[in-house]
Amino acid sequence: MGRYSLLVLVLFSEFCVAQSIDSLYQSGSDNFARGLLNAAFVDFTKVISKSPSNAQAYLKRGRVRQAGKDTLGAIYDYTQAIRYAPDSVDGYYYRAMIQRDRGDYVLANLDFTKALSLKPNNSDIFYQRGISWVGLNEYEKAINDFNAVSKASPDYADALYHRGYCYFQLQKPEIAVKDLTLSLSINPSAEAYYQRGLIKKFYKKYADALLDFDEALKLNPDYTVAIYERGILRVNVGNKEGYKDLTKAALGGYEPAATALKMYKYSSLDSMLVYQAPEIIVEAMKPEYQQALRITLQTSQVAVTALSFFIGSPVSDALNRSKLLKPDSDLGDNTIAARLPGMTTVDETRCNERTIQNASSSQVNIYCIIFLLRKQVNLLKDDIAEGYMKDLEDLVVQIDNIRISPGGSDTQRTRELLIMMQPIFNKLQARINAIKKITSLEERD
């Protein structure tokens, strides 16, 4: 083959590789936009395998992982993006956002500050760093950042809200109220009404504080801490509706509300029935409701134990020994569609409370766990438990998409999804314990 022909062949090969990378990158972007996280993850991983120093692919895969709540994987990808593109504003920004959400405010601010050095006039970066300063109780520094935001965008309601909060922490209530009121005039929010209500309560303007708490709860009826504060204030001014608020807040898992009920000596079911909470308590007194609480708690604990066994074992060994991810092993059904979200066709002679409780950790089946929990959570009619249930179902769908995809061998991603399940099961258990604590028949006076 002549030298010219060889050069043409090399150039053509490079063109094909570049075209393949571009098409994979576009496919990943399209899948991400459609919410198809697994497909997007696969696409960007293929791009990286073909182009290991592709900073943009790392950045995009980091976004996918972040959306899938794989925070450690996302941090790794953003770090790689920064490694190959040291001037990547987005790399620093998104890594900072995750660090802040994890409570690593110092690391977050280092990244936000670096991002600002690369893009000095970006209001959003100033705003996000300001929130991190709040997390560090550095209120003066936070105010400086929120000032920069307000100077560039005077109608940035959230910046005004957070600045008002900072002024209150610095014992400057007049300025705080001014900022919160301005924020509310631009974009009414439950949080701003709540903060302004706290200030008014602190300065004993109780009628005005109650009005603000009322407005906050109109915008967000499940705002537990606002329910609690309104409850305390109502009780203190002689309004027995306050006991209803405190009961609802306690059921929301807010411990100070349960403590307040005991202090006021209205912690028993009988007392709460008298004091304006019958619609909350009567349902919980039914035997089937108490049974649903018990089964949910026990099943969640079985799930946590089984996940610990699976995650603590070598991947190959766990996959071979565990029935956790084998939908046919206990349910006798082949399609995930039959199980989520309704799962009405599961063989309940093979998937029930008894079979789950008697199974060893290696024999527990995650599909059966989700099936049992869904039935019980439907009976509880609790919005918070329902939210946790939906999060678990979403993760199981992602796991099953990996299982039925060609090859079905992305064990690392499966493991990551299972790790993400553990804290959700723990939160569900905490929620059920909170409900049991406030509705337990054993607490009668």
C-beta of residue 286 within 8 angstroms of C-beta of residue 316? no
Among the candidates 120, 135, 170, a domain finishes at: 120
Within a domain: 240 = no
Specify whether the CB–CB gap between 116 and 126 falls below 8 A: yes
Give the rounded percent of residues in the chain with a pLDDT score beyond 70: 78
d(CA 356, CA 354) in angstroms, rounded, equals: 5
This model's pTM is above 0.75: no
Q: Final residue of a domain: which of 87, 120, 153?
A: 120
Give the domain-ending residue among 91, 120, 149. 120
Structural domain tally of the chain?
2
Measured CA to CA, the distance from residue 41 to residue 416 in angstroms comes to: 13
Q: 36 lies in a domain?
A: yes
Radius of gyration of the chain (CA): 27
Q: What is the pLDDT of residues 256-303, one digit of tens each?
A: 888 888 777 654 444 444 444 445 555 556 778 888 888 888 888 888
Predicted confidence (pLDDT) at residue 14 exceeds the cutoff of 70: no
CA dihedral 347→351→354→360, nearest 10 degrees, is: 140
Q: Are the beta carbons of 249 and 231 closer than 8 angstroms?
A: yes
Q: Which residue has the higher pLDDT, 212 or 264?
A: 212
Dist. CA 374–CA 385, nearest whole Å: 10
- C-alpha dist (Å) from residue 383 to 24, 63, 69, 161: 40, 28, 21, 27
Confirm if 345 and 333 have CB atoms less than 8 A apart. Answer: yes
| Per-residue model confidence as pLDDT tens digits over 2-11 | 555 544 444 4
Query: Quick check: is 67 in a domain?
Result: yes
CA–CA distance, 113 with 107 (Å, rounded to integer): 10
Domain assignment present for 145: no
Residues 6+ apart with CB under 8 A from 120: none
The range of the structural domain enclosing residue 309 comes to 286-402+410-439
